[in-house]
Amino acid sequence: MYRYHDYKCISCGHYETIMLKRGEEEESQLCPVCDATMDRQFPAPMITKASYPDGISRGDRWELAKQSSRMEQEASLLRKHGKKEDAARLKREARQLSKRASTKRDKDDK
């Protein structure tokens, strides 16, 4: 079994992927271009919307919850001013957004 490690030269910037066997010691790598030391590069973890089951990321959930809260506030203002039908419609839409924003963990906590 092999592992792949990325290295970048600290002097000339040469980039190279080196294959090592499992259990093999990592030695300091030398640049094949200028013979300077190469530093190991660690890739950033990849987080995408596809990593969430329903395709909604945390930021999107927060925005949906925020929008739902605003809609509920507007519905209460409409109710105070005597527009009960519009308030009820807006409240239903706010609930739908709130359901979309909640996660499985949120549902288990209730």
Specify the CATH number for the domain of residue 22: 2.20.28
**3-class DSSP state of 41:** strand
18-27, 60-69, 71-80, 93-102: least confidently modelled range: 18-27
My answer on whether 62 and 20 are in the same domain is no
pLDDT of residue 34: 92
Q: Percentage of the chain surpassing pLDDT 90?
A: 7
**What is the domain range of residue 97?**
50-102
My answer on whether 32 and 64 are in the same domain is no
Q: Is 110 part of any domain?
A: no
pLDDT band, very low/low/confident/very high, at 28 (cuts 50, 70, 90): confident
My answer on whether 57 and 28 are in the same domain is no
Convert the pLDDT of each residue in 30-71 to its tens digit: 898 998 988 888 877 655 555 555 556 666 777 888 888 888
Q: Is 93 part of any domain?
A: yes
* Residues sharing a CB contact under 8 Å with residue 97, sequence separation 6 or more, in sequence order: 64, 65, 67, 68, 71
Q: What are the strands, taking DSSP E only, across the chain? A: 2-9, 15-21, 29-30, 37-41
My answer on whether 13 and 33 are in the same domain is yes
Count up the domains in the chain and report the number: 2
My answer on whether 74 and 92 are in the same domain is yes
* Predicted structure pTM score: 0.42
Mean pLDDT, range 12-38, rounded to an integer:
84
My answer on whether 54 and 37 are in the same domain is no
> Which residue in 14, 5, 3, 19 sits closest to 37, CA to CA?
14
Mean pLDDT, range 70-87, rounded to an integer:
88
My answer on whether 32 and 8 are in the same domain is yes
